[in-house]
């Protein structure tokens, strides 16, 4: 029984290390920045699912924001409304550490400022790509967190 | 960061490489967070609680004003610019008109100096760009400790 517990602990440690390595890779690629580490540091025993909750909230908000920005970029562009959604996306993506997505939001804001529909559409396309990349990354992190928590719960059961 | 009237122009923040230097919160400071984004509300709340601060959250400027109008007091008010019902600028003007004795700090996604200055002119003490970080919280705690 003790050996089983040791093995489970090793699996947990390995998974945690895998998660750390994965996050570092995302840092190296510029997908995540240090703000994600700050978010992760807020997770504790009282809030073991904090990171997963934040990721879920971000994805939900971002998808609504992108969908609404798409609408305002159709036909006659409503730049003022696009700017509103861009700022919200920028705020949430930078707060979660989505560096490249936040940069794309900044660029889209500038394109709106010069009232260039063509430029807006070009950058919006890139923003959506950055969101997809970030979303995939955060989903992977979420899954790993979920597995770590499940393993830890199993380990602690009598 | 943009500074308000009367604020010192030479500021230093306790930034320690790779670690947060936590400023003492034995004064039990209270914070009101006004932001309509549930994600930002959650992040701000957790960041501030990590510093031992007591946090209350509202989703628009009107609720912030109403809370203060009905007697709630806060050492620090962190206020977003864009909110439904009443935005941050309007709420800040109302809070100042009420004579609220809180440090009022804008936390906005708007990054142009012109937009931040326009928000400042509503009566903010400081204006930060999102995200809220440990460094910014440390700085505000230092200001609160000074004023206390």
Nearest CA in chain B to A47: B46
Q: What is the ipTM of this complex?
A: 0.87
Q: Does A128 touch chain B (CB under 8 A)?
A: no
- Tell me if B80 is assigned to some domain: no
Query: What is the total count of domains within chain B?
Result: 1
**pLDDT tier at A7, thresholds 50, 70, 90:** low
Q: Find out whether A39 and A96 touch, Cβ atoms under 8 Å.
A: yes
Q: What is the mean pLDDT of residues A44-73?
A: 93
Listed range (A3-12, A47-56, B5-14, B121-130) with the worst mean pLDDT: B5-14
Range of the domain at A34: 2-156
Q: What is the pLDDT of residue B147?
A: 79
Q: Does B132 touch chain A (CB under 8 A)?
A: yes
Range of the domain at B66: 61-74+88-110+119-132
DSSP state of A42: T
- Tell me if B66 is assigned to some domain: yes
Q: What is the pLDDT of residue A9?
A: 65
CATH number (domain holding residue A32): 1.20.120.160
pLDDT digits (tens, 9 = 90+) for A81-120: 899 899 999 999 999 999 999 999 999 999 999 999 999 9
Contacts of A95 (CB under 8 A, 6+ apart): A35, A39, B39, B40, B43, B130, B131, B132
Q: What is the pTM of this model?
A: 0.86
Query: What is the total count of domains within chain A?
Result: 1
Alpha-carbon distance A7 to nearest alpha carbon in chain B (angstroms): 33
DSSP H helices in B54-107: 61-69, 88-98
B20, pLDDT greater than 90: no
């Amino acid at each position: 029984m003790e050996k089983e517990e040791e093995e489970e602990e090793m699996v947990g440690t390995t998974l945690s290390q895998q998660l750390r390595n994965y996050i570092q890779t995302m840092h190296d690629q510029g997908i995540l920045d240090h703000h994600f580490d700050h978010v992760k540091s807020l997770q504790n025993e009282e809030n073991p699912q904090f990171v997963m909750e934040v990721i879920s909230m971000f994805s939900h908000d971002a998808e609504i924001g992108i969908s609404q920005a798409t609408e305002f970029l159709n036909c006659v562009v409503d730049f003022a409304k696009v700017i509103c959604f861009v700022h919200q996306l920028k705020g949430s993506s930078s707060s979660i550490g989505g560096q490249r997505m936040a940069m794309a939001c900044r660029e889209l804001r500038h394109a709106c400022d010069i009232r260039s529909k063509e430029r807006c559409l070009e950058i919006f396309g890139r923003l959506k790509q950055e969101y997809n990349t970030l979303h995939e990354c955060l989903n992977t992190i979420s899954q790993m967190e979920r597995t770590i928590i499940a393993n830890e719960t199993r380990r602690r059961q009598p | 960061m943009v500074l308000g009237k009367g604020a010192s122009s030479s500021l230093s923040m306790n930034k320690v490489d790779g670690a947060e230097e936590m400023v003492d919160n034995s004064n039990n400071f209270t914070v009101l967070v006004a932001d309509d984004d549930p994600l930002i509300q959650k992040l701000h709340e957790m960041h501030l609680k990590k510093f031992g601060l007591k946090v209350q959250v509202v989703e628009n400027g009107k609720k912030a004003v109403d809370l203060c109008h009905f007697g709630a007091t806060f050492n620090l008010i962190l206020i977003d610019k864009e909110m439904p019902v009443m935005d941050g600028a309007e709420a800040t003007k109302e809070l100042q008109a009420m004579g609220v004795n809180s440090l009022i700090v804008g936390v906005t996604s708007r990054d142009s100096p012109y937009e931040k200055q326009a928000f400042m002119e509503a009566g903010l003490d400081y204006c930060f760009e999102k995200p809220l970080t440990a460094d910014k919280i440390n700085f505000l705690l230092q200001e609160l400790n000074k004023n206390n």
